[in-house]
């Protein structure tokens, strides 16, 4: 499906971004692994190269527009085009509102929301020129439902959904599809820090009665990146075992 496509995946050194990158590469894409963790990104590139596919690790802080600009220039130098952008880089800095520091608010908004804005803006320029492209934003069901202790994170993900729908309208006439994936409770380092009792409580809310895997999220992302999703834009696909309906 993704044969000869060039994809950039942010926050791809581990977790969901790594699974997305490997599934894209397995499907034939060349993948740019953009992350603040260059060692982790390099390890993902080695894994992809061992599958005899092309990949490139880049040190990029998505919240910095200059670094994002450099990422796009380097990708175009190396691979000549960008067909797919996955805005996956994201962090949590949880606490209840009255105890939340300015820093924890700003950091989460800067990386999760402004980071996606930075990447969309740079990549859209080249996608508009070739009148095609697929942008997929990794949001969260928390952006739809809200969550106690996560006003910063939920606001960033709700903002990302608003960005997705607005950009989908803006870029539709240029042949560019913009969609979001909203994962629910996925087993990653982000969730392994949760207490056992909280994990059990979360599992009780999932009709499919299991936590999601990074591959569950990768499969939905691969679908949206492929030609099978050519007539889909401005949508949010929940990958949450039916947690919210």
Q: Give the distance, in angstroms, between the CA of residue 187 and the centroid of all CA atoms in the same chain.
A: 16
Q: Is 83 in the site for ligand NAP (CB under 6 A)?
A: no
180 binds ligand NAP (CB under 6 A): no
Q: What three-state secondary structure class fits 132?
A: coil
Q: Is 26 or 199 the residue whose CB approaches ligand NAP more closely?
A: 199
Q: Which residue in 21, 23, 30, 63 binds ligand NAP (CB under 6 A)?
A: 63
Q: Which of 31, 32, 48, 89 binds ligand NAP (CB under 6 A)?
A: 89
CA distance 34 to 64: 13
The stretch near ligand NAP (CB under 6 A) out of 24-32, 36-44, 119-127, 165-173 is 36-44
What's the CA gap between 33 and 20, in Å, rounded?
10
The site string for ligand NAP over 122-141 (x = CB under 6 A, - otherwise) reads: ----------------x-x-
- Does position 225 interact with ligand NAP (CB under 6 A)? The reply is no
DSSP code for 79: H
Partners of 135 in beta bridges: 85, 178
CB within 8 A of 131, min separation 6: which ones?
174, 175, 176
111 binds ligand NAP (CB under 6 A): yes
Task: Note whether 119 and 66 are within 8 A (CB).
Answer: no
Please tell me whether 231 is known to bind a ligand. Answer: no
CB of 203 to ligand NAP, least distance (A): 13
- CB-facing half-sphere around the CA of 91: CA atoms within 13 A: 17
Q: Considering 24, 79, 117, 153, which one is annotated as catalytic?
A: 153
- Contact between 90 and 154 under an 8 Å Cβ cutoff? The reply is no
Q: Are strands 6-10 and 30-35 parallel, antiparallel or unpaired?
A: parallel
Q: Which of 21, 88, 150, 179 binds ligand NAP (CB under 6 A)?
A: 88
Instruction: Provide the CA 171 distance to its chain's centre, in angstroms.
Output: 19
Nearest CB to ligand NAP, comparing residues 28 and 242:
242
Q: Which one among 6, 7, 13, 57 touches ligand NAP, defined by CB under 6 A?
A: 13
Please identify every residue annotated as catalytic. 153
**Interface ranges with ligand NAP (CB under 6 A):** 10-11, 13-17, 35-37, 40, 60-63, 88-91, 111, 115, 138, 140, 183, 185-186, 188-191
């Amino acid at each position: 499906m993704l044969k000869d496509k060039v994809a950039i995946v942010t926050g791809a050194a581990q977790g969901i971004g790594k699974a997305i990158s490997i599934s894209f590469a397995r499907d034939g894409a060349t993948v740019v692994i953009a992350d603040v963790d260059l060692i982790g990104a390099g390890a993902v590139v080695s894994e992809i190269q061992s599958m005899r596919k092309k990949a490139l690790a880049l040190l990029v802080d998505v919240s910095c527009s200059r670094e994002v600009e450099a990422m796009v220039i380097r990708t175009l130098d190396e691979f000549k085009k960008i067909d797919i952008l996955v805005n996956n880089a994201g962090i949590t800095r949880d606490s209840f509102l009255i105890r939340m520091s300015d820093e924890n608010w700003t950091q989460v908004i800067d990386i999760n929301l402004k980071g996606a804005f930075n990447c969309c803006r740079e990549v859209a320029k080249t996608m508009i020129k070739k009148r095609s492209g697929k942008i997929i934003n990794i949001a969260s069901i928390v952006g739809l439902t809200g969550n106690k202790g996560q006003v910063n994170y939920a606001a960033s993900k709700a903002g990302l959904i608003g960005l997705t729908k607005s950009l989908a309208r803006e870029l539709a006439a240029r042949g560019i599809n913009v969609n979001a994936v909203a994962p629910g409770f996925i087993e990653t380092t982000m969730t392994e820090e949760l207490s056992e009792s909280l994990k059990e409580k979360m599992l009780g809310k999932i009709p499919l009665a299991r936590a999601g895997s990074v591959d569950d999220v990768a499969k939905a992302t691969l679908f949206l990146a492929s030609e099978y999703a050519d007539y889909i834009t401005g949508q949010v696909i929940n990958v949450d075992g039916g947690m919210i309906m």
